[in-house]
Structure 1
Amino acid sequence: MKKTMKKAAALLLASSMLVGFTACGGSGSSDNGDTIKIGVNYELSGDVATYGQSCTKGVEMAINEVNKAGGINGKQVEIVKIDNKSDNNEAMSAATKLASKEGVSVMIGPATSGAFKATISAANQYKVPAITCSGTSDDITVNSDGSVQEYIYRLCYTDTLQGNKMADFATKKLNAKSAIVLADTSNDYSNGLAKAFEAQFKKNGGKVISTETFTAQDKDFAPVLTKIKDKKADMIYLPGYYTECSLIIKQARDLGIDLPILGGDGYDSPTMLETAGKDALKNVYFTNHYAVDDESEVVQNFVKAYKEQNNDENPGAFETLGYDAGKLACDAIERAGSTDPQKVSEALAATKDFKAVTGTLSIDEKHNPVKETVVLEFKDGKALFNTKL
């Protein structure tokens, strides 16, 4: 009888412990651990690995700096990193694991809008805030009914803002009165930029004489470029990722199309130069998050530190955005005075005048940043500062 009672008591104790563990499993809090955990969910392999790898490098640099300076409230910061393989389903699985099992206080990534949107349900379900530093799709931080995603934050600009700014650049800086829009039908990023650009360009008095399309992973763009060559326009707006845009630009120049080509931050990759070549990139402009030759103190201090750690290589926008995301995450945890994800989320929402490398920013009511946009121009194969809008 006593043996049976002891066994029952032991089972009851184990059951209660299991219930307690299950209840806390989705909290993401690491208050009781020796380190503060930040989840990193990036494209470290696959089609757009250069974006994820670059963002991760920036996050790691930021966290290393924080740890060398003593960490946060006496604790070191630990990165829990998962490769989503440039696949939306993998990104969702990674976010679920980070939020429900790894005890992270905040998640950073993925890099692309589509992959990041695949993680939103996990962030909301487990109430763990997630930061995108490069997902520009408008509907990331808001629902279809206009309500705000409570646990989702962005530190880059939106597609609408980016498209609007480039339309302003085209009409006001390049004096373009007519344009051809060539967009990738297969992804939200390209379509969002194209839609915003076209609307603002028309609002500015410009005329879009043709809207053409291509599809991701295409290699031969001669048919659509031949159609474009026969049309008279002042410029081409080509939003998309470097993987296709570098090929399109090269093939366009080979066909004798020498019009100015404008694009978005998806151009920010060494592959653009490697594939297109510096001659093809003449008269090519794109919106971006920062310029390495911006003379501001915060930019130049970051560039110097990055180059010292990376064989004198300049940081790209994605390394810089990743760095800013890492610093913002740590700043929010410190301001929250806790690693509890709910409190960290509240601190992120209250961010004011955070001095990021990509521009001093405040988080608005839709969890988007208020800051400037930079336009870069390729010169001799280098992407250099042109203007701020």
Structure 2
Amino acid sequence: MTRSGIKFVGLAICLAIFTGALAGCGSTADSKDIKIGGVFELTGGVASYGQSAVNGAKLAFKQVNASGGVLGKKINFIIADNKSEPSESANAVTKLITQDKVAAIMGAVASSNTLAAVQIATDNKIPLLTPTSTNPKVTVDDNGTVKDYIFRSCFIDPFQGTVMANFATKTLKAKTAVIYVDNSSDYSKGLAQFFEENFVKSGGQVLSKEAFLQKDQDFKATLTKIKSVNPEVIYVPGYYEEVGKIVKQARELGITVPMLGGDGWDSPKLAEIAGKEVLNNSYFSNHYSTEDKDPKVTQFVEDYKAEYNQTPDALAALGYDGAMMLVDAIKRAGSAEPAKIKDALAQTKDLQLVTGLISLDANHNPIKSAVIIELKNGIQTFKEKINP
């Protein structure tokens, strides 16, 4: 190709990029809808969580659109599957930003998958709100700097770990514990850290800390070791896939002490994997309970059952609340411009949602209550409510 030809092609490419950039910049303001992206675990190891969160968000946006939308526009919820993998989460967020031109993003579910996406959202100045990722690092850097464009609608691991440590020492009167952590999960390691700190602070003793990895199948060797130290409680901050197998194998070995966990236990599949009776004498911290008689909760449960013919778990409630937080921010911002949505999200205060009254603190974390769920023959029952 001649030099002049090269210059012509180069000019054409530059013009195309410039024109595309202008089109992209104007797409949010000029379009007849507001595009909200969703990056969720629809396949892979925690697909049950991802589907619940998506169902909750879809219900919220459906109700908003049926009521006239936001700022006179309908919400267009564009969902991408991260396949329960951090690398796929990064790819999905990139696609939503660069190809779909979304104004904001919801997701992911697991902290590891959200952490893989936050820098991309930040670099592109697109607000990202995770409804369920509880690791503190999601919204705050290691040096303590708040990530300007990242938010969440769930409480964080320090609060959740503290809740279970206090429940173990005060309600169950436990003085000794073993922590069995998923070493491949930021979520699990964060919960374990804060449970240990607060359990010891309350006078308890951690007899040992053991580890497993996601997708492990046989836990009996480690559980036999745990049984030998005879703890009064065992804390397993993991996801339902492994937790179900751990609890089942623990009971088969004759371990009868209370098994404790976090919101990663909240899935109908837990009872399918472990067995209903096996889960007796087990407790986990969670974001809400369907047994709560608050009108906001009862209405949500009724609406969700009508839409999906199933009872909403906490992930569904958090997905719903995350969507409503975004809608509230867009309304208050009076704009679907990402920077204005970001500023409005940061100012969220006294917003009544399904999982409680939410105000965001300086680190973009909700100040809200938690509940303790007891499993009785596989059925979740409300045990007690813990306020911040």
TM over 0.5: yes
Which of 17, 28, 31 is residue 30 of structure 1 equivalent to?
28
Query: Shift of residue 232 of structure 1?
Result: 2.0
> Which of residues 358, 370, 373 is equivalent to 1:373?
370
Q: Whole-Å Cα distance in 2 between the matches of residues 278 and 18 of structure 1? A: 58
TM-score under structure 2 length normalisation: 0.94
**How many Å separate the matches in 2 of 1:372 and 1:299?**
14
Q: Which residue of 2 aligns with 1:201?
A: 199
Q: Any idea what the Cα deviations from partners look like across 1:110-154, whole Å, max 9, x if unmatched?
A: 110000011111111110000011101111100111010000001
Trace 1:192-271 onto structure 2 (pairs within 5 A). Answer: 192-271=190-269
Query: What is the CA deviation profile of residues 68-107 of structure 1, one whole-angstrom value per residue up to 9, with x for unaligned ones?
Result: 0010121111011111111211111111121233221110
Q: Which runs of 5+ in 2 are unaligned?
A: 1-6
Cα offsets for 1:130-180 (capped at 9, x unmatched): 001110111110011101000000111111111111001111111111111
Match of 1:385 in 2: 382
User: Which residue is 1:149 aligned to?
Assistant: 147
Contact 2:277/2:376 (<8 A) preserved: no
Give the letter for the 2:246 counterpart: I
Q: Structure 1 CA distance, aligned partners of 2:255 and 2:26?
A: 53
Q: CA deviation at 1:17?
A: 6.3
The percentage of aligned residue pairs carrying the same residue is 44
Q: 1:13 to 1:277 in 2, by over 3 A?
A: closer
Kept after mapping to 1: 8 A contact 2:178/2:226: yes
> Paired residue for 1:358, among 348, 352, 355?
355
Aligned pair in 2 of structure 1 residues 358, 28: CA closer, same or farther (>3 Å)? farther
Task: Work out the CA distance in 2 between the residues paired with 1:131 and 1:182.
Answer: 29
User: Residue 29 of structure 1 contacts residue 339 of structure 1 at CA under 8 Å; is this kept in 2?
Assistant: no
Residue 61 of structure 1 corresponds to 59
Query: Per the alignment, do residues 28 and 160 of structure 1 end up closer, same or farther by CA in structure 2, a change over 3 Å counting?
Result: farther
1:321 and 2:318 correspond = yes
Q: Deviations over 1:348-374 (max 9, x none)?
A: 000001111011100110010000111
Structure 2 distance, partners of 1:351, 1:47, is 33
| Secondary structure of 2:29's aligned partner | coil
How far apart, in 1, do the equivalents of 2:158 and 2:26 lie?
A: 33
Aligned partner letter, 1:261? M
CA distance in 2 between counterparts of 1:43 and 1:54 reads 10
Conservation of the 8 A alpha-carbon contact between 2:244 and 2:273: yes
**Residue identity opposite 1:319 in structure 2:** A
The letter for the 1-side match of 2:264 is: G
Match for residue 18 of structure 2? 19
CA distance in 1, matches of 2:137, 2:14: 42
Q: Which residue of 2 aligns with 1:5?
A: none
C-alpha displacement at 1:18, in angstroms? Answer: 3.6
Alignment of 1:34-49 (within 5 A): 34-49=32-47
Number of aligned residues: 380
Q: What is the CA–CA distance in structure 2 between the aligned matches of 1:29 and 1:186, rounded to whole Å?
A: 40
Match runs of 1:158-173 below 5 Å: 158-173=156-171
Distance 1:228 1:99, change over 3 A: same
Deviations 1:2-52 (A, max 9, x none): xxxxxx99x989955641432664x59611001111001111111211111
- Matched residues in 1 for 2:112 and 2:12: separation? 44
- Alpha-carbon spacing, 1:106–1:227, altered in 2? closer, same or farther (3 Å): same
* Rounded Cα–Cα distance in structure 1 between residues aligned with 2:15 and 2:231: 71
- 3-state DSSP of counterpart to 1:95: helix
**SS of residue in 1 equivalent to 2:229:** coil
Alpha-carbon distance between aligned partners in 2 of 1:81 and 1:263, rounded to the nearest angstrom: 29
Q: What is the RMSD computed on CA atoms of the aligned residues?
A: 1.9
Kept in 1, the 8 Å contact 2:301–2:312? The answer is yes
Q: Secondary structure at the match of 1:212?
A: strand
Question: Against the structure 1 CA distance between its residues 205 and 38, is the aligned structure 2 distance closer, same or farther, given a 3 Å change threshold?
Answer: same
Q: In 2, distance between residues paired with 1:123 and 1:14?
A: 26
Q: Distance in 2 between matches of 1:35 and 1:105?
A: 10
Unaligned ranges ≥5, structure 1:
1-7
Please give the TM-score of this superposition, normalised by the length of structure 1.
0.94
What is the CA–CA distance in structure 2 between the aligned matches of 1:23 and 1:141, rounded to whole Å? Answer: 31
Q: Distance in 1 between matches of 2:327 and 2:27?
A: 14
